[in-house]
Chain A
Amino acid sequence: MITLTINGLRASVEKGTTILEAARFLGFPIPTLCHHEGLSPYGACRLCVVEIGDGPGARLVSSCTYPAEEGLKVRTASERVIKARRMVIELLLASCPQSKVIQDIASKHNVRQQRFRQEYEDCILCGLCVRMCEEQMMAKAIGFRGRGSGRSIGTPFDIRSDVCRLCGGCMQVCPACQLRCTYTEPDKAVCGGCANLSPPCVEKEQFHDMMCYMSPCVACEIRKD
């Protein structure tokens, strides 16, 4: 057994446990995006960063991949963690604003604005689908290609893979291609960020203090009619 301290609380966990598992066991929430219980940890989205160590040696690590170590001191919501996490969310919003999952996370962390060139990408390369295909579906039909800004996910040579059984597992785990927020249909509304504004977005002329992630924004479209 390994003993570590999370947010001042001592915990004993089995060897091989990650910080994320240990923290969740203790009830500390850590947001994740590329993490999935049934899949191997990957550490791509960096949303789950936590602070370890003390003083000048303190650093941020992804809790989903970092193994619990004897005597490790972990802070899951220090100022540094929150700041970094908010920047990760901002970057996610800048790339993939239409994702329900990302909107939910943004709303939860009160990130309402992103300051970069707006993109509308349909993939954030979290790799959930690749791992799903390989580890759960035993297919290995898709994988990563390229590096840096040229990185993408697909089948080899973009030809339909013989090993793909069209199981849909990849789509099931994808956080980026799920339905977008629909404010005027409250039962389907996700983040509710716009509804919680005062006055709500449909009644306001223009937003100066908050950027709407929607383009087109469903609420705005309705108002126009």
Chain B
Amino acid sequence: MNAHKNKLTSIDAFMALQARLAAHNDGEIPTIVIPAGTCCQASGANLLIRVAKRELLQKKLTDRVRLRITGCHGFCAMEPSVLVEPARTFYPKINPDDMARIIEAASKGEIITELLFVDPETGRPVEKQDDIPFFRKQVRTVIGRNEKVDPIRILDYIRNNGYLSLVNVISRGDPRFVLDEVKASGLRGRGGAGFPTGQKWELFASQKNGAAKYLICNADEGDPGAYMDRSVLEGNPHSIIEGMLIGAYGTGATEGIIYVRTEYPMAIKHLNTALKQARDLGLLGKDILGTGFSFDIEIVKGAGAFVCGEETALIRSIEGHMGEPRQRPPFPIVKGLYGKPTMINNVETWANIPVTIAMGGRSFAALGTSGSSGTKIFSLVGKIKNTGLVEVPMGMTLKEVVRDIGGGPAGKAEIKAIQTGGPSGGCIPASKFDLTIDYETLKSVGSIMGSGGMIVMDSNTCMVDVAKYFMGFLKDESCGKCFTCRKGTQRMYELLEDITVGMGTPEHLIVLEELALAVKDTTMCGLGQSASNPVLSTLKYFRHEYERHIHDKRCDAFVCKQLVGAPCQAACPVDTEPWRYVALVERGDYEEAYRVIRGANPLPGVSSRVCDRKCESRCNLGAGGGEAIAIRALKRFVTDRVDASVYRPEPGKTREERVAIIGGGPAGLAAAHYLSLLGYRVTIFEAADRLGGMLTCTLPAYRLPSRIAREEIESLLNENIQIECNRALGKDMTIEDVLGKGFKAVFIATGAHESWRLNLENEHVEGVYPSIDFLKKSKMEGIELARGHVGVIGGGNSAVDAARVALRQKGVTGVSLFYRRSRDEMPAYEEEIEAALEEGVRIETLISPVKIKVRQEEIETAIKEGIELHTLVSPVKIFSEEGRVVGIECIRNRLGEVDATGRRRPVEVPGSGFSLALDTLIIAIGERPESGTFASMGLEVDRSGRIKVDPRTLRTGLEGVFAGGDLVTGPNTVIDAIAAGKKAAQVIDGYLQGREVSEPSRATLPSVFIPPATVDDSEAGVAGRAIPPAVAPDKRTKNFIEVEMALPEDHAQSEARRCLRCDLAFTREASADQ
């Protein structure tokens, strides 16, 4: 379509053109729509366009298939994408090779199912764009027009009812109409402050200051992570021109300026084209459409200073001065550009004007809330699945935007906050996601609407670092005129920097807060007044993170390098140096590697089998999209290969004080070991007939062979340690008894040995066992309680253990595991679940048992051999016959809202109950400490049976009595128990020597330099994570031989070579200095 040379000289001429275009609107012809905004082009839209054009020409399809190149559609995570109209089929992430197929299919009106978007919730492909969850909840009155028009074709815009609002306004001949409509619409400025647009326009219309009156479109979009203005400018420039024309008509402005940053070349190009086309067509310039109304627009390019988004600075920038705000009043509306009345509105506000006029002010006001009408475009970015531009009606909750439209977190980490309003905005914690999005609500929680940036942050984001980032931005982008803004932002940045490198003191927080409030109060413009928001809002909602950085010198998000050191080491509760022994394995120095492991961890053989590998979950190699180093497998390789005798700690000189340890599990053993090395005489009181706690009582031998546990425990004992077995606290003795025997300190670590109950009828009949009892009987006495078909309820490690142990018992025909959430939420280790499934455990999730039930014919047939996982089920009833369990009734669940633990809450599906016949039922829904009698001895016990202690000192309320391990935390990992024991030894030593017990812990930075291996690119490219060999499932199901084996030496070495050696950042320099 050629641009019309013929100027339209009357409204009738325009209407005739519009009617002609609308009549030619061949809605039936398939059209390939390719979004090609800056962001789309960056993901490869240009190539798609080239391929599409070639395809259409070569196959001579130009008559049957149309091609439309448009601006951004908003679903940036799925770029480059293709939309086929009129069917509105959406194809995400298109490979150019598939373009030909899409065109082919479009020409025949077909759909290529395998290229469609797949709904992650249902797993089914979605045909229509509007049915995709990302689009479904949006109301796209502004951004939605992007997909309809080619931004460089004015006729496209006119065909889609463009400039109709303008013509409507002009033909009425009443500027008052415009003001009334805009006022009735309740539209508020979209640039940030949210000043009512109608009020502003009315004020501006009443200004009679000489001849000139200016309209300015503020397109100086500079917030990090915000790009909605750019997308509107690029994708629909005519809507802004039309908006400004309507504004000029309504307010009597004589000239318009679009102030756009030079960093937006495509926006400038499209605006220039659009302005020229509008002028050529007689829609802009002198005597518009022959009505005598004149208005022209020019573009002024800004040099990209953030502060020039502030209106007075923007005006000075247009005038050719430095971009520096000045005192208001006088407000620009009275005295602005060149001293003349000037009205400034944001891009999105202008783009909303034609919509408002077309809809009518009243119906626009019906959108959104009463105080904030209409829709708002947000750029949803950060740690979220569906990044992109979303347009939602005001009043939608943050939760809906994040979960429903945004699709939840991008990775496994939980979303913890959302940052709105750019550097001037604040962080809103996830606990406040029920809040609605409107000007007042956001302001009430210390953030602002701003221009519409929404940065999603998850638990891998450090809020102190975020505040530091924004402060770094602001200290560079402050104009520097106000002393408190220039210096204040710099000083806040310095304070935050101190905190992130571990030099923070409590004083820092006081000064930071005082300064932030002073900067907010004493600066002249919006930039300075809101510059403190990132600090104040994070201080308000995430003060604990600041305090962690200051008091404990820890960054839980593993972001602040100086506080983390090597992430694998920082993640380890006992401060092992995985980077170090991995490097030593690579160099073949296995004995030294063993000494490194053993130096930090008294139970290395046990840990190398059952540790939950916090180190691997934090490995930078895994975080960077690769596979984490198999650190535990390497530890196993070392501990299997090296004799424990290479590490022989010498006990220190014997001391007078005696210490009692109650509980001989990993926590108690670790405490006893380290205290004995310090020279204290220690007595361990153990309730069972052997030491080891869960290690020797319940952990199945196929995971941890009894010999390994026994030998390792024995190696910890020495002449300073006495053992008294079969002595249970509360039953055989009290704390007073112990203290009465001359012990100066007591460490209680009796663990969590009591199973939670379902609280269902018949739970105590024969054949129903708590998992702990079941596992203990099996491991300690060799008694096989399970028979027939076994049901296991629960999703944690002890549930999976129970299921796999049951499978190994003789009389068992099959095992089913029932879990109330889905498999992704199961807390058990993934590899244990995998192994269980391999062995034939059936897992049923999202199920809750309703009742335990009598055997029934119809369900009997449903039972097959092997173990099954039933997820999303909850038990509701247990059935028994002659005092023995015969079945359960369950109800199916679906996943509902996210609960306090960050997992989605199971919600029962009414009427979904079903029954299962079972011969044995094992209940493994969690454990709690057996602490029923502890309260009477003066200890503080919470509702879950846990003992309350000071987390820094492990002190209980009783003098000289300490507690740790599962007894304090609830059921937890072996390594955390060892860590508690280690810490207990430290604090008890401090207590007995009269030293200050609490000392700030700090992640130890790597200090030993080990030369890195040279890895060439060919090796680096192919190396994948080493997987330890395992005994085949058919060879292991009826015995207890250890399933996982150690890595062979060559595999271990090549695995160690994959390590990124994060330690070198700290040690290389030090070694170079020497």
Verify that A and B bind, or say they do not: yes
Q: Which residues of A contact B (CB under 8 A)?
A: 41-46, 49, 59-62, 65-67, 69, 80, 83-84, 87-88, 91-92, 94-95, 115-117, 124-127, 144, 146-151
Cβ of A59: which chain B residues have Cβ within 8 Å of it?
521
How distant is the Cα of A126 from the Cα of B514 in the complex, in angstroms?
A: 23
- Of the candidates B307, B322, B481, the one whose C-beta lies within 8 Å of that of A44 is B481
Q: Are B327 and A147 in contact (CB under 8 A)?
A: no
Given contacts A91-B488, A148-B489, 20 further A-B contacts (CB under 8 A): A43-B327, A44-B482, A65-B326, A66-B327, A67-B327, A67-B330, A88-B522, A91-B483, A91-B484, A91-B491, A116-B494, A116-B495, A144-B322, A144-B480, A147-B307, A147-B322, A148-B486, A149-B480, A149-B490, A151-B486
Q: Are B514 and A87 in contact (CB under 8 A)?
A: yes
Residue of B nearest to A62 (CB): B524
Residue of A nearest to B305 (CB): A147
Asked whether any CB of chain A lies closer than 8 Å to the CB of B1032, the reply is: no
A-B contact list, 25 entries, CB within 8 Å = A43-B481, A43-B482, A43-B524, A44-B482, A44-B483, A46-B482, A46-B483, A46-B524, A49-B521, A59-B521, A66-B327, A66-B329, A67-B327, A87-B484, A87-B518, A88-B483, A91-B515, A94-B487, A94-B491, A125-B481, A147-B322, A147-B476, A148-B478, A150-B480, A151-B480
How distant is the Cα of A116 from the Cα of B480 in the complex, in angstroms?
A: 19
Asked whether any CB of chain A lies closer than 8 Å to the CB of B477, the reply is: yes
Known: A49-B521, A49-B522. A148 touches B515 (CB 8 A): no
Q: In the complex, what's the smallest C-beta–C-beta distance from A146 to chain B, in angstroms?
A: 7
Q: Are A46 and B476 in contact (CB under 8 A)?
A: no
Most central of B327, B476, B488, B507 by chain A CB within 10 Å? B327
Q: Are A116 and B491 in contact (CB under 8 A)?
A: yes
Q: Are B487 and A117 in contact (CB under 8 A)?
A: no
Asked whether any CB of chain A lies closer than 8 Å to the CB of B523, the reply is: yes
- Of the candidates A44, A83, A124, the one whose C-beta lies within 8 Å of that of B518 is A83
Q: In the complex, what's the smallest C-beta–C-beta distance from A46 to chain B, in angstroms?
A: 4
Q: Are B521 and A115 in contact (CB under 8 A)?
A: no
Cβ of A42: which chain B residues have Cβ within 8 Å of it?
481
Asked whether any CB of chain A lies closer than 8 Å to the CB of B549, the reply is: no
Binary contact readout B446-483 vs A (1 if CB under 8 angstroms, 0 otherwise): 00000000000000000000000000001111111111
Q: Are B521 and A80 in contact (CB under 8 A)?
A: yes
Q: What range describes how many residues of B lie at the interface?
A: 35 or more
How distant is the Cα of A91 from the Cα of B488 in the complex, in angstroms?
A: 8
- Of the candidates B476, B491, B511, the one whose C-beta lies within 8 Å of that of A148 is B476
Q: Are B480 and A126 in contact (CB under 8 A)?
A: no
Cβ of A150: which chain B residues have Cβ within 8 Å of it?
476, 480
- Of the candidates A61, A88, A126, the one whose C-beta lies within 8 Å of that of B484 is A88
Binary contact readout B493-518 vs A (1 if CB under 8 angstroms, 0 otherwise): 01100000000000100010011001
Q: In the complex, what's the smallest C-beta–C-beta distance from A77 to chain B, in angstroms?
A: 15
How distant is the Cα of A7 from the Cα of B323 in the complex, in angstroms?
A: 35
How distant is the Cα of A87 from the Cα of B484 in the complex, in angstroms?
A: 9
Cβ of B487: which chain A residues have Cβ within 8 Å of it?
91, 94-95
**Which 6 A-B pairs rank lowest in CB-CB distance, beginning with the nearest?**
A151-B480, A87-B518, A65-B327, A46-B522, A148-B476, A60-B521
Residue of A nearest to B508 (CB): A115
Q: In the complex, what's the smallest C-beta–C-beta distance from B839 to chain A, in angstroms?
A: 62
Most central of A41, A83, A84, A126 by chain B CB within 10 Å? A84
Interfacial residues of chain B within 310-334, with CB under 8 A of chain A in the complex:
322-324, 326-327, 329-330
Q: Are B480 and A92 in contact (CB under 8 A)?
A: no
Q: Are A115 and B511 in contact (CB under 8 A)?
A: yes
Most central of A84, A126, A148 by chain B CB within 10 Å? A148
How distant is the Cα of A116 from the Cα of B487 in the complex, in angstroms?
A: 11
Cβ of A45: which chain B residues have Cβ within 8 Å of it?
483
Cβ of B474: which chain A residues have Cβ within 8 Å of it?
148
Q: In the complex, what's the smallest C-beta–C-beta distance from A18 to chain B, in angstroms?
A: 9
Q: In the complex, what's the smallest C-beta–C-beta distance from B310 to chain A, in angstroms?
A: 12
Q: Are B491 and A69 in contact (CB under 8 A)?
A: no
Q: Are A125 and B483 in contact (CB under 8 A)?
A: yes
How distant is the Cα of A46 from the Cα of B491 in the complex, in angstroms?
A: 16
Q: Are A46 and B484 in contact (CB under 8 A)?
A: yes
How distant is the Cα of A66 from the Cα of B480 in the complex, in angstroms?
A: 19
Cβ of B323: which chain A residues have Cβ within 8 Å of it?
147
How distant is the Cα of A88 from the Cα of B482 in the complex, in angstroms?
A: 11
Cβ of A91: which chain B residues have Cβ within 8 Å of it?
483-484, 487-488, 491, 515
Cβ of B483: which chain A residues have Cβ within 8 Å of it?
44-46, 88, 91-92, 124-126
Q: In the complex, what's the smallest C-beta–C-beta distance from A62 to chain B, in angstroms?
A: 7
